[in-house]
Structure 1
Amino acid sequence: MLEQNRADRGEDPRALGKADAETVKQTWDLWFQEKIPLPVVTPYDQPRVLSASTRQVLMSAVRIVLREARAQGRTVAELDPFILSLPEYPVPQKNPRPRPLSYGDFQLLVAPESLQALDALDIENAGLSDIWLTHAFQGGRIVETLGLRLGCLGIVGAAQPYIWRDVAKAGVVDYGMPCYLPVYERLLRRQKITRARLRTRYRDELAALDERGRTRLEATWEREMPLFPRTNANYDLTLFASAAWFRDLFNEWLQGLGLSSVTSHQTRATLATSLLNNGAPPALVRQLLGHFSEKALAHYASYSDDTMSRHLQRIWAAGPGMDKPGTILLRPTELKADNPAAAAARIDLSVVPVEHGLCRYGPVVGGASCPYGKNCSDGPKGPCEHFVLTGADLAYWERKRDAAAHFAEGAPTDEARDYILTQWEPWEPVLTSLRQALEELGLLEAAEQLDLRSPVHDYFDPLFSTGFHLRQTDSSSETA
């Protein structure tokens, strides 16, 4: 920047002042706003433009270096106005949650033909496709994958492949997790390649050692040497492959596939969302992603609406007409069957949605008239003993209860108010118990936000009121 704005190219520090710092800011902002590529330092550098983050980080680094030099007395006093006037930029706001990749995009990124194109860019056989597949299927951050050590693989128990990596963000070293078998097999081959390179580089040292010494040296390599050594300026093979090297080749590959808007970080959200929606417990997903709190996992993934609906509908609480109102009758984890889908299907055949709950009386299935002549949740005889609530019904009945309480406050007499409130007394243990069960399962917030039994659903899909699916009513109307 000084070269472009000063006749002496900025080589005289005593001539620099506050005005030059302002010129630096103007040039820096221009490069950022106009997306002008930064000047390259060496012929090996790739031109790049400033983002909001790199604009702040790089200028902050400039200020840190110069202020440290000033504190150490390495700069002339006349340079102080320039140093102290260099611009400061606020840290940009956090990026939005990464979106999962679509199924088609992800399949394209892991297709054999696409991986061959990626290998073609890896002219030094540094393991570019191995890095990508490990990153895609193991859910780590890219710096964690690049930082894998030579001895990161192993078998736990009889035959469970495992991988150990450092969780950079949490500062956890050697964090173990199950390894996807195809990834494990690729990394085993990469281990052999890296070991062969190490033996070639250190052949003189190995030749001077006895067998025990060679074994100890190679054991040290397993703990300390990178599985993916850096390709440039790394004669001793001790430096890990850099994120900048991976990013440049990865982006070039993406452009060739027509997916320039994709980022490698999206694979974490893709893996987490896919696992959750296919029934994996959140604890396992957190382990794979290297998260140590549910809040961190929620940043990357959440259940889809369909999956959340299934989970909420598989939490049953005994209705107010049963002997023990509020007893939790079913949880999602209690669907014990060799085929969970078959178990869910049997449940669907044994109950029918009625009046914002479920009827467990079998003959009613299909919308037949109730043999008990009851109205499920109210009537002269009180709530039906076969009526149960699901997690999807919590928000509806809590709103109904609150509305009744509000209505009771305006009752003309105390007797009328007490009568209205009395009708809801059997519901209190049911709603309290259901709320507690949802909170234990981590589904309470979803139940509060997701109202599966809204009037729109009742109108467009009579399943929620009569037990008939919409497609059944369509066929009936056509017949009529």
Structure 2
Amino acid sequence: MTAYTRQMVFTRTRRILLEALESGEAERLGLNRGFVTAMPSPGKIVTRIRTPFSDEVARALAAETNQQTLAACHDPADRGLRDAWETIIVTGRRCSEVIKLRLDCLSRYGGLPMLWHDQTKVGNYDAAIRIPEQLHQRLEARQRKTLALFATRHNRPPTPEERAHLPLFPSNQRNSDSRRPLSYQWFHRGFKAWINSLDIGRWVPHQARHSLATSLLRAGASLTHIRRYLGQVSERMAEHYVHLAQSDLESVLQHVWLAGPGAANPGEVLTDDLTPLTREHAMALAIDLGRRSTPAEGGFCTFQPVVHGGDCPWNLDCHNCDKFVLSGADLLYWRRKREQWRLLAEGAPDDATADYLHRYFEPTARAIDGLEKALAGLGPLDDALALDLLKPQDYFHRVWSTAFRAADLADAGTEEESEYGDTCTAEDTDREQDVA
């Protein structure tokens, strides 16, 4: 008997006895009050939170050869073991929610594929989420197989009423009306045998849900968004994902400091002269960002008076200042800047202007090359390129959702200039400065 089983049995037994005591049923049956109150407590047990799949395990579970083994060796009758598992991975749904999917669980709205399911654990029925096109096509193929199985068994296609009650993954045992879905025991038995054959340790399907939640947090989603998407009762149920999202990637990227475009040697690693960096050296570059720097556009300012709250003596001209440093977390920002300058140089009216633009941007290009070289030696170059500092929920903020056409802004600026022109008074100037 496990500790969890002991707790469940004792807790429910105590509840039954106490309810009988309060309702008077214990007295009617002749149960001694001392016996009811002497029922021992189950005691507290330590509940361990499921961890996400490690990178090695995730690659093994997603490998095409292993997926084919799952279908061929552990689901020879093609009941949908692989399809159900891929749905769990992609959507983060609970196993029971996927296994009990209805036949007509797919639809499109505005051309976007949607999956309809019941979140019975939280009492949320007919919930829809967007799914990738590849998963939509796989489940459509499963729909055709289920309909063909029904036609083979009953020698006819299902009626509209029967179709409404058909599961996407029907069971092949005691299922004469084809309304019974596969059981979780069947799914778990095949999945466990597959995991054992891969020799990657002990893992359960529910950990795919934790992996997805952790990935969403790292991408910038809030606990509220994750709770709604995964169908959880409260944010407290999602809070245990937070410590998993605080990986060392962001901190390591911010601890890699390089000289900015305005320095004497742009792109030079400021805290160590070894390039390329190793992970041990990168972890040794831990710098107290709160006391030694302040965030700036595309990097950090290390000028101490500004860090401690003073005014910038250079009018915030950060990119041309030798006190400005780049961090590993800003690589994507500077790559975009490089593309903008390349477009400007390509659109120059003559070669002389193009050469001038290339020379002007050359220190910045050296800084970007040094940043990429340092991150390549450190290892997380691809992660740095995928790290966008804008979070998804930022786009719902009014600042991001309020947009204007560039042509309209240009026209508005021209009209304002022609309206005020030379007739602008000192009072108007003071008012504009106050607004600014």
Normalised by the length of structure 1, the TM-score is 0.47
2:418 paired residue number: none
Q: How big is the shift at 1:203?
A: 3.3
Q: How big is the shift at 1:366?
A: 9.1
Q: Is 1:115 aligned with 2:67?
A: yes
Q: How big is the shift at 1:268?
A: 0.8
Distance 2:40 2:144 in 1: 48
Q: Is 1:155 aligned with 2:115?
A: no
Distance 1:168 1:292 in 2: 11
For the 8 Å contact 1:194–1:227, the answer to whether it is kept is: yes
Q: How big is the shift at 1:96?
A: 2.5
Distance 1:156 1:94 in 2: 45
Q: Is 1:128 aligned with 2:64?
A: no
Note the 1:56-455 alignment, pairs <5 A: 56-57=7-8, 90=42, 93=45, 95-119=47-71, 120-158=73-111, 160-203=112-155, 217-218=159-160, 220-280=161-221, 284-291=225-232, 293-301=234-242, 302-306=244-248, 355-358=291-294, 375-376=305-306, 384=312
Give 2:150's aligned amino acid. Answer: L
Measured at CA, do residues 286 and 181 of structure 1 come closer, stay the same or move farther in structure 2, by a change above 3 Å?
Answer: farther
Measured at CA, do residues 283 and 265 of structure 1 come closer, stay the same or move farther in structure 2, by a change above 3 Å?
Answer: same
Distance 2:53 2:184 in 1: 21
For the 8 Å contact 1:359–1:387, the answer to whether it is kept is: no
| Partner-residue secondary structure (3-state), 2:113 | strand
Distance 1:259 1:123 in 2: 23
Give 2:102's aligned amino acid. Answer: R
Distance 1:62 1:231 in 2: 36
Q: How big is the shift at 1:164?
A: 1.0
Distance 1:386 1:294 in 2: 45
| Partner-residue secondary structure (3-state), 1:375 | helix
Give 1:128's aligned amino acid. Answer: L
Normalised by the length of structure 2, the TM-score is 0.52
| Partner-residue secondary structure (3-state), 2:126 | strand
In structure 2, stretches of 5+ residues that fail to align are: 17-28, 256-288, 317-369, 375-436
For the 8 Å contact 2:92–2:230, the answer to whether it is kept is: yes
Give 2:177's aligned amino acid. Answer: D
Q: How many residues align?
A: 277
- Structure with greater proportional helix content: 2
Structure 1: which 4+ aligned runs deviate by more than 4 Å? 55-65, 83-89, 279-284, 306-313, 359-362, 364-367, 382-388
Give 2:294's aligned amino acid. Answer: L
For the 8 Å contact 2:52–2:211, the answer to whether it is kept is: yes
In structure 1, stretches of 5+ residues that fail to align are: 1-31, 33-50, 66-76, 207-213, 314-352, 389-467, 473-480
Higher relative contact order (CA 8 A, sep 6+): 2
For the 8 Å contact 2:3–2:45, the answer to whether it is kept is: no
| Partner-residue secondary structure (3-state), 1:166 | strand
1:13-69, Cα deviation, whole Å (9 max, x unpaired) = xxxxxxxxxxxxxxxxxxx3xxxxxxxxxxxxxxxxxx333455578899999xxxx
Distance 2:15 2:50 in 1: 31
Distance 2:252 2:110 in 1: 34
| Partner-residue secondary structure (3-state), 2:217 | helix
Distance 2:175 2:6 in 1: 29
Give 2:188's aligned amino acid. Answer: R
| Partner-residue secondary structure (3-state), 1:176 | strand
Q: How big is the shift at 1:123?
A: 2.5
Distance 1:94 1:221 in 2: 46
Measured at CA, do residues 311 and 278 of structure 1 come closer, stay the same or move farther in structure 2, by a change above 3 Å?
Answer: farther
- CA RMSD, 1 decimal: 4.6
1:44 paired residue number: none
Measured at CA, do residues 365 and 197 of structure 1 come closer, stay the same or move farther in structure 2, by a change above 3 Å?
Answer: closer
Q: How big is the shift at 1:149?
A: 0.7
Measured at CA, do residues 276 and 386 of structure 1 come closer, stay the same or move farther in structure 2, by a change above 3 Å?
Answer: farther
Q: How big is the shift at 1:148?
A: 0.7
Percentage of identical aligned residues? 29
